[in-house]
Amino acid sequence: MKNSFFFGVLLVCLSCKSKIQESPNSGIKDLAVVEHTTKSLDFVTSDELKESVYYLASDELEGRATGSEGIEKAATYIEKKLKSYNVKPYFETYRDHYMAKGLDAYNVVGFIEGSDPVLKDEIIILGAHYDHVGIIKSVDGDSIANGANDDATGVAAVLAMARYFATKKNNKRSILFTLYSGEEMGLLGSKHLAARLKEQNVNLYTMINFEMIGIPMVDKAYMAYFTGYDLSNMASKMNEYVDYNLLGLLPKAKEFQLFYRSDNYSFFKAFNTPAHAISTFDFTNFDHYHKVGDEADKMDYEFMADLVNRLIPAFETMSNTTTQEIKMNE
């Protein structure tokens, strides 16, 4: 995520023990603690998320600065993953080229067409940024800001969901899997792609951005928060789709206006449609933002897999409702 961000089922358990209470306001259950005993088919595994994060946040990629050799390796890795899942490129190739302050830069965009002859013209975007800040001031001999939580975790989640939908082929609406560079330079990649899709008159239904999801939040009754929670009914609808409060409102996110400070905002601004970021960075649980300590070995991959597996049924329902249930609030 860029500097201003900081400042400013398939998996449904057949057998699990949960400490869950009813929300007095909505009737939807609050998720306080979940202790799984057995799980029915965990599609997304901690190992696949770990593999992606460890590679993207490795020293070999030197912090994935936009325009660098390291980010080129990251883009190639993402392309190979999408191709291996039989996710098609949305454009002629997976690459969406643009210039980032004089540097050649690329978003990577995959596409799974919806199965319904009418609904397939409506697009859902699942995205994350794959760039980071590169080489920074050395601390104890380490000068590589590897960007594991920011945002290799988000990229790993998007790739895992691409694998799911490519395997199941059960989405009536079409889904774009979009990985952006240039985020750390001012949302440049997502701004470019949003403008390009707008020029093509793409019918964008929703956009969801994944930003720093590698560490669980502290003492929350939900697993992740939604930036811009009150701007649309998307979070409440997703909670309704899974029948518990998977997503919540983090007051600090609203206080620091995080909605406007990551790639979701580019799509909201271009399309005026529900576009939000999902995050678990709660201002208390991670001290390595834009520092050399943002390393792959600090991430909680079991938590990440649980979160992604819980999100998938909500996105699956979102892709299959007969009408557009998710809307901007008045």
> Does the residue 327 lie in any domain?
no
CATH code for position 111: 3.40.630.10
Whether residue 228 is contained in a domain is answered as yes
Tokens of 187: 């949302």
Residue 118 has phi, psi (to 5 degrees) of -100, -50
Measured distance CA(104)–CA(70) in Å, rounded: 13
> In this predicted structure, what is the pLDDT of residue 286?
87
**Inside any domain, residue 229:** yes
**In a domain? residue 221:** yes
Closest among 11, 20, 15, 12 to 36, alpha carbons compared = 15
Residue 325, domain member (yes or no): no
Q: Confirm if 267 and 276 have CB atoms less than 8 A apart.
A: no
Instruction: Quick: pLDDT tens for 37-61.
Output: 333 348 999 999 999 999 999 999 9
Residue 249, token pair as written in the block: 């409102």
Give tens-digit pLDDT for 222-265.
999 999 999 999 999 999 999 999 999 999 999 999 999 999 99
Whole domain around residue 160: which residue ranges?
3-318
Does residue 298 have a pLDDT over 70?
Answer: yes
Token pair of 308 as six digits: 């992604």
Closest by CA to 84, choosing from 34, 128, 48, 31, is 48
Amino acid making up residue 237: K
Task: Decide if 323 is inside a domain.
Answer: no
Q: Residue 156: inside a domain, yes or no?
A: yes
The pTM score is 0.90
* Total number of domains in the chain: 1
Closest CA to 228 of 326, 155, 314: 326
Indicate whether 129 belongs to any domain: yes
